[in-house]
Amino acid sequence: MIVAIATLPLEMKRLPIAAIVLLLVSCDHGLEPPPSVEPGFGGTVNFEKGTWPPADSIVNLWVFASQVYPLDSAKIFAGLFSNPPTVYLYPALDKNLPLFVDSVSYKFNLPPGRYEYVGVLQRIANDLNVRSLKVVGMFGTNDSPPFPIPVIVSAFNFVPKVDIKVNFHKPPPAPF
Amino acid sequence: MRELRIHITLLTCWSIVAFGQSRQGTIAGTVKDAETRQPVVGANVTLRGSFIGAATDAKGTFRLARIPVGSHAVIVSMLGYQRETVEGVTVVPDEVRTLDISVRPVPLQSEPVIITASRREQSLQEVPVSVATVTARMIAERNNITLDDALRYVPGVNMLADQVNIRGSSGYSRGIGSRVLVLLDGLPYITGDTGEINWETIPMFEVDRLEVVKGAGSALYGSSALGGVINVITRETPSTPELRFRAFSGLYDKPRYLEWDWSSKPRFNSGVVVSYSGRSNSLSYRVSVGRTVDESFRENDTYHRWNFFTKLKYDISSTQSLTIAGNYLDRTHGNYFWWKSLTEATRPAESQVNGLVTSRRGNVSLAYKEFLSDKFFYTLKGIYFGNFWRDDSAGRVNNVSASHLFNIDFQATYDINRYNVLTFGVAMNYDRVSANLFGTHPGAGAAAYAQDEIAVTSGLKVTAGLRFDWQKVSVLKSTAQVNPKLGLVYIPDKETSLRASFGSGFRYPAIGELYIESSTNVSSIVVLPNPDLKVETSFSYEVGVNRSFGQMMSIDLALFSNDFGNLIEPSVRIKSYRPYPSSPVEVTGPVIQFDNVTKARIQGLETVIRVEWWKRFFSTDVGYTYTWPRDLADNTVLKFRPRHIVYTAGTFSWDQFRVLADFRYLSRIERIDENLVRLAPIVHGEQRVAIKLVDIHTSYDLIGLGLPIRAGFNINNLLNYSYVELLGNLGPVRTYFLTLEGMF
């Protein structure tokens, strides 16, 4: 290529040289591995002993993070499948938190944003209606009744100690 | 009516006359480059006013047998050379008339021959739609191993992994249902089960050229031609024996980042193809065998391929020929769907670590061609395309599919007079799919089409066509489609061509889209069938101009608008369903289902500029495509479409040395399918950048040293740029290739 350019008339040399320079300057390296810290939050879910319900009433059990509050079951599914989503589930839609344990630590990676309502969601029946989803734990204040504490996740930041207490007999007041 | 009767009578008589001709001779000779005196290989030699012709072989020789006695004109055409006509070639009975024809090289070639746009040979200037060609030389120089590789350099075309987009037509539908029709020697080459294109089965070493028609083409080709048509034209069998080979060995460079360097061993991509052709009296043949092993730069992404190809042509008489071709692929490859995460971008997600896909795909085609006169010929073609694949995970078979597809096409071309060329035909297809994902379903269809090209004045040509299609799939109600086309070409002078066209397209839903059903797919969400899917439709409009400025420069500019309706896409919804067929109860939850979800409009412009800076020494090609893709349902940008595509190429030739440098730029895809990222899930699947790639291809022709061999050295992705074409799929890292190609 250098030979080709060298043999061109002077006025014609400028164009390919300019093109090559432009090309090399314009090229960054593209994608790169993300920083080692992935955005999200984590902590421990503590289950009150002796409150676990029968196994057949737990179809799913998730940690959830919603950018909207209050929330009803229609908004949950709308939020899960909206583009971009406003509701996220941990560990995944088709997976569960460990059942019948005293506590479980979790690490929930999700996009940066302000999550107004974070807690534990139980799906109690296959049918989907307002009674099949139940918030059984909430990251909230110690007030009575408690209020949800927003979790703010920024880029390259992982928020620790988002601990949630779950008492299946005394769930937090459902906002739906 | 009276004229029609005359034509029918003439048609009947012509066949009798054709068979009655016994006073025949032969024209043979060589075609050489007027400047270098080297033989010109692959030049088209035809008899004016007829469809009789041949291509020159490795020695530049040709032979036109059984030519009626009398005076004829012989036309020689070849990309890169000025068209040459030898007048007054007198043929006498049972004698060979020898010609030594010299053709002058021209730096700027603006008139390649196109056959796909109108199902017959035309010069590019006469075609009312935008068409791009990729020649065998370009494929060899770039060492394109599969067809999709070759298409990545065509202006207005971009690939999303294995799915092709022409001017943004396709988007990405997760591998099911192609909105671009691929033809193999004029016959549909879409798989019967998922309606997709299988690029690797195309015998690249045997490709003569690719023609890419941009815009809807269902008025001639039927289903799937919504966004365009790609015709793969294989080489003719030569008139003299020849042995050809191509061997290459590629080495992947290390990925740019240590986190992605998963393999301690160097990774290679190598292959060899050998082809032998011969002739025995009226029978000519070509046989080729290819073996490629791609170790890949990614884990569990290796490819092992065997390719077999054969083509036999029997010249029954000077007016009749029969061609039989067969093609077979045996392939095993790792089941790499997407990365583990951007942190480990060269490793597959956990669920795919031990996955393996084995496939056997093959086709047999038959083409009978007969000239009933020098103005009328017909072809009868048929193809069987069989696809068998299965995927295993850790020794357990997950999915198995077998599909059989038959296509038959009868086409006649009648050069009625100097003002009208009529093309008409009928086509039929039958397919049968048997797969655990899709069930067992038959499908059948039939079509009839006609097109008239009318020369209104010496410079103005109008093309009008219509096609009727009928299709029935399994137990579903049959559907019918009528697709028109209209084209206009005005050539005010030798260097200018103005064009305008309208065409419509459609696509029947693939059996995979109608019947896919799975509770164990990769995303763990239940997939339900949807037999109520409607036919996708499209309307394409285009105006364009092609202008040459002497031998120095040519510009092609097109403005286009494409409307799409009933686009089928997989969508997620909450639905009540039975978890298994005999289940007494229904459950409610999220499901994936193919559905007619949207309508869209894609408008834009495309320009292709070629400049010959120095005669046969240095040239540049620049193609720029701007698209404005809109989802009319929610007034947003369509998913998976880049707005800007720029392809540039600079070619330097000096004696036997040649350097080709490519730069490709595709702007960042603005909108993706977030649900695919979330539900799969693809960790960091939303990560994407603009694509900026530089490739360098060098070659040296050893013919000057008396060896008919060309040696090449290529560097793909010179700058080792990291990018994705499709979510979670890192593009190839910098790769060094050594190539050798020879012909004896």
Task: Provide DSSP, B293-361.
Answer: EE--SSTT--EEEEEEEEEEEEEEETTEEEEEEEEEEEEEEE---SBS-STTTTSB-GGGTTEEEEEEE
Phi, psi for residue B14 in degrees, rounded to 5: -60, -40
CATH number at residue B53: 2.60.40.1120
Write down which residue in B51, B74, B103 finishes a domain. B103
Total residues belonging to chain A: 176
Regarding whether B369 and B322 lie in a shared domain, the answer is: yes
Q: Is the peptide bond before A39 cis (omega within 30 degrees of 0)?
A: no
CB-CB neighbors (< 8 A) of B259 in chain A:
33
Inspect the interface and report whether the beta carbons of B684 and A34 lie closer than 8 Å. Answer: yes
The yes-or-no verdict on residue A136 having pLDDT over 90 is yes
What's the rounded Cα separation, in Å, for the pair B499 and B691? 32
Is residue B489 within 8 Å of residue B497, measured between CB atoms? Answer: yes
Interface of A to B at Cβ within 8 Å reads 1, 3-4, 7-8, 12, 16, 19, 23-24, 26-34, 36, 77, 80-81, 83-85, 92-94, 126-128
Regarding whether A62 and A1 lie in a shared domain, the answer is: no
Domain count for chain B, please give it: 2
What's the rounded Cα separation, in Å, for the pair A86 and B356? 36
Is residue A148 within 8 Å of residue A117, measured between CB atoms? Answer: yes
Phi, psi for residue B312 in degrees, rounded to 5: -120, 135
Q: pLDDT band at B7, cuts 50/70/90?
A: very low
Q: Give the residue with greater pLDDT, A90 vs B23.
A: A90
ipTM score of complex:
0.80
**Residue B506 maps to a domain:** yes
Regarding whether B505 and B366 lie in a shared domain, the answer is: yes
CB-CB neighbors (< 8 A) of A7 in chain B:
617, 654
Regarding whether A122 and A58 lie in a shared domain, the answer is: yes
Provide the domain limits for residue A5: 1-32
What's the rounded Cα separation, in Å, for the pair B119 and B413? 9
Regarding whether B325 and B355 lie in a shared domain, the answer is: yes
Write down which residue in B60, B75, B103 finishes a domain. B103
pLDDT computed for residue A14 by the predictor: 63
Task: Say yes or no: B293 contacts chain A, CB-CB below 8 A.
Answer: no
Shortest distance between the Cα of A155 and any Cα of chain B, in A, equals: 13
pLDDT computed for residue A13 by the predictor: 60
Regarding whether B217 and B163 lie in a shared domain, the answer is: yes
Cα atoms in the 13 Å half-sphere on the side-chain side of B185: 29
Inspect the interface and report whether the beta carbons of B722 and A32 lie closer than 8 Å. Answer: yes
pLDDT computed for residue B404 by the predictor: 93
Phi, psi for residue B9 in degrees, rounded to 5: -60, -45
Averaged pLDDT for residues B69-89: 84
The yes-or-no verdict on residue B523 having pLDDT over 70 is no
**Residue B170 maps to a domain:** yes
Q: pLDDT band at B9, cuts 50/70/90?
A: very low
**Residue A175 maps to a domain:** no
**Residue A111 maps to a domain:** yes
Contacts of residues B414-422 at CB distance under 8 Å and 24 or more positions apart, as own/partner, are B414/B7, B414/B11, B414/B375, B414/B376, B415/B375, B415/B376, B416/B7, B416/B375, B418/B455, B419/B454, B419/B455, B419/B456, B420/B452, B420/B453, B420/B454, B420/B455, B421/B120, B421/B452, B421/B453, B422/B450, B422/B451, B422/B452, B422/B453
Segment B588-634, tens digit of pLDDT:
766 778 888 778 999 999 999 999 887 668 889 999 999 999 998 88
The yes-or-no verdict on residue B689 having pLDDT over 80 is yes
pLDDT computed for residue B69 by the predictor: 85
Shortest distance between the Cα of A47 and any Cα of chain B, in A, equals: 27
Segment B54-69, tens digit of pLDDT:
878 778 888 887 788 8
Q: pLDDT band at B12, cuts 50/70/90?
A: very low
User: Closest by alpha carbon to B206, among B318, B327, B296?
Assistant: B327
Regarding whether A115 and A77 lie in a shared domain, the answer is: yes
CB-CB neighbors (< 8 A) of A18 in chain B:
none
Inspect the interface and report whether the beta carbons of A27 and B719 lie closer than 8 Å. Answer: yes
Q: Which of A29, A92, A128 is facing B721, going by the closest CB pair?
A: A29
Regarding whether B692 and B739 lie in a shared domain, the answer is: yes
B66 CB-near residues (< 8 Å, 6+ apart): B24, B25, B26, B317, B318, B319
Provide the domain limits for residue B98: 24-103
**Residue B108 maps to a domain:** no
Distances, alpha carbon B258 to alpha carbons B254, B479, B718, in Å? 9, 55, 18
Regarding whether B45 and B185 lie in a shared domain, the answer is: no
Q: Are strands B729-730 and B724-726 parallel, antiparallel or unpaired?
A: antiparallel
Closest Cα in chain B to A88: B678
The yes-or-no verdict on residue B655 having pLDDT over 90 is no
CB-CB neighbors (< 8 A) of A36 in chain B:
343
Regarding whether B185 and B95 lie in a shared domain, the answer is: no
Mutating which of B351, B598, B663 best tests the A interface, going by the most A Cβ atoms within 10 A?
B663
**Residue B430 maps to a domain:** yes
The yes-or-no verdict on residue B8 having pLDDT over 50 is no
**Residue A140 maps to a domain:** yes
Averaged pLDDT for residues B485-505: 92
What's the rounded Cα separation, in Å, for the pair B573 and B558? 40
Q: Which two tokens stand for residue A114?
A: 């302000």
Inspect the interface and report whether the beta carbons of A93 and B679 lie closer than 8 Å. Answer: yes
**Residue A152 maps to a domain:** yes
pLDDT computed for residue B35 by the predictor: 80
**Residue A27 maps to a domain:** yes
pLDDT computed for residue B372 by the predictor: 85
Facing residues of A140 across strands? A148
**Residue A174 maps to a domain:** no
The yes-or-no verdict on residue A43 having pLDDT over 90 is yes
**Residue B172 maps to a domain:** yes
Q: Which of B257, B573, B694 is facing A32, going by the closest CB pair?
A: B257
Angle at B114 between CA B4 and CA B661, to 5 degrees: 170
User: Closest by alpha carbon to A66, among A74, A57, A55?
Assistant: A74
**Residue A172 maps to a domain:** no
Shortest distance between the Cα of B157 and any Cα of chain A, in A, equals: 21
Regarding whether A160 and A97 lie in a shared domain, the answer is: yes
Regarding whether A45 and A84 lie in a shared domain, the answer is: yes
First to last CA, chain B: 56
Listed range (A117-121, B381-385, B702-706) with the worst mean pLDDT:
B702-706
Regarding whether B88 and B158 lie in a shared domain, the answer is: no
The yes-or-no verdict on residue B41 having pLDDT over 90 is no
CB-CB neighbors (< 8 A) of B679 in chain A:
93
The yes-or-no verdict on residue A36 having pLDDT over 80 is no
Token pair 């070493």 is at which residue?
A: B205
Token pair 């139940």 is at which residue?
A: A134
**Residue A44 maps to a domain:** yes
Regarding whether A46 and A14 lie in a shared domain, the answer is: no
Q: Which of A4, A12, A30 is facing B689, going by the closest CB pair?
A: A30
Averaged pLDDT for residues B43-56: 76
CATH number at residue B585: 2.40.170.20
Q: Average pLDDT, whole number, for chain B?
A: 86
B225 CB-near residues (< 8 Å, 6+ apart): B180, B181, B216, B217, B218, B505, B507
Q: Which of B69-83, B104-118, B125-139, B301-315 has the highest mean pLDDT?
A: B301-315
Regarding whether A72 and A15 lie in a shared domain, the answer is: no
Averaged pLDDT for residues B700-716: 87
Tell me the H-state helices in B503-636.
Answer: 511-515
**Residue B10 maps to a domain:** no
Averaged pLDDT for residues B104-127: 72
Regarding whether A64 and A18 lie in a shared domain, the answer is: no
User: Closest by alpha carbon to B169, among B538, B484, B535, B482?
Assistant: B538
Regarding whether B239 and B138 lie in a shared domain, the answer is: yes
Regarding whether B493 and B555 lie in a shared domain, the answer is: yes
Regarding whether A6 and A49 lie in a shared domain, the answer is: no
The yes-or-no verdict on residue A1 having pLDDT over 60 is no
Domain count for chain A, please give it: 2
User: Closest by alpha carbon to B597, among B276, B208, B52, B171?
Assistant: B171
Regarding whether A71 and A21 lie in a shared domain, the answer is: no
**Residue B215 maps to a domain:** yes
Regarding whether A69 and A149 lie in a shared domain, the answer is: yes
Regarding whether B173 and B75 lie in a shared domain, the answer is: no
Element (H, E) at B593: strand B587-614
What percentage of chain B carries pLDDT values higher than 90? 44
Phi, psi for residue B109 in degrees, rounded to 5: -105, 115
Segment B189-233, tens digit of pLDDT:
888 888 888 888 888 888 988 999 998 888 888 888 888 999 999
Regarding whether A126 and A62 lie in a shared domain, the answer is: yes
Q: Which of A8, A12, A33 is facing B259, going by the closest CB pair?
A: A33
Write down which residue in B79, B103, B127 finishes a domain. B103
**Residue B569 maps to a domain:** yes
Inspect the interface and report whether the beta carbons of B659 and A32 lie closer than 8 Å. Answer: no
Q: Give the residue with greater pLDDT, B654 vs B379.
A: B379
Is residue B220 within 8 Å of residue B707, measured between CB atoms? Answer: no
Q: Return the SS3 of B677.
A: helix
Q: Give the residue with greater pLDDT, B528 vs B10.
A: B528
Angle at B177 between CA B175 and CA B182, to 5 degrees: 100
Regarding whether B151 and B68 lie in a shared domain, the answer is: no
